[in-house]
């Protein structure tokens, strides 16, 4: 049970309790790190922004454009109708006098 000597079955040293491992340095363990000032936090941000914006626009355009077109058409009709009703021919057509 985690003895202090060589393992009789495999012939390797397990180490004492709380100190498991072998007496030789471990091999084959590689660690990589990158300094904070070498990282590129905005790498690809412009490219992603352009294509992400296009994707989002393409998926939302049919929800946004038709109401704006309808509102513009209604407003344009209302402005033209108001200008007509406040003109001399419009007042005569409605039967009101100046």
DSSP secondary structure, 6-38, as one string? B-TTT--B--STT--S-SSPP-S-------GGG
The residue range of the domain holding 82 is: 62-98
In angstroms, the CA 16 to CA 3 distance is 6
Q: What mean pLDDT do residues 33-53 have?
A: 85
**Counted domains in the chain:** 1
Quote the radius of gyration of the chain (alpha carbons, Å): 40
Q: Is 3 a domain residue?
A: no
- pTM over 0.85? The answer is no
Is 71's pLDDT higher than 60? Answer: yes
The per-residue pLDDT of the chain, averaged, comes to: 81
Q: Is 98 a domain residue?
A: yes
Of 38, 57, 14, 31, nearest in space to 3 by CA: 14
Is 37's pLDDT higher than 80? Answer: no
Is 55's pLDDT higher than 90? Answer: yes
């Amino acid at each position: 049970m985690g003895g202090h000597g060589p393992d009789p079955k495999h012939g390797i040293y397990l180490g004492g309790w709380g100190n498991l491992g072998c007496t030789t340095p471990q091999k084959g363990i590689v660690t990589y790190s990158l300094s904070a000032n070498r990282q590129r936090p905005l790498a690809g941000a412009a490219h992603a922004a352009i294509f992400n914006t296009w994707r989002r626009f393409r998926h939302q355009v049919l929800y946004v454009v038709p109401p704006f077109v309808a509102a513009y058409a209604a407003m344009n009709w209302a402005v033209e109708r108001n200008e007509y009703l406040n003109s001399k021919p419009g007042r005569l057509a409605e039967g009101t006098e100046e």
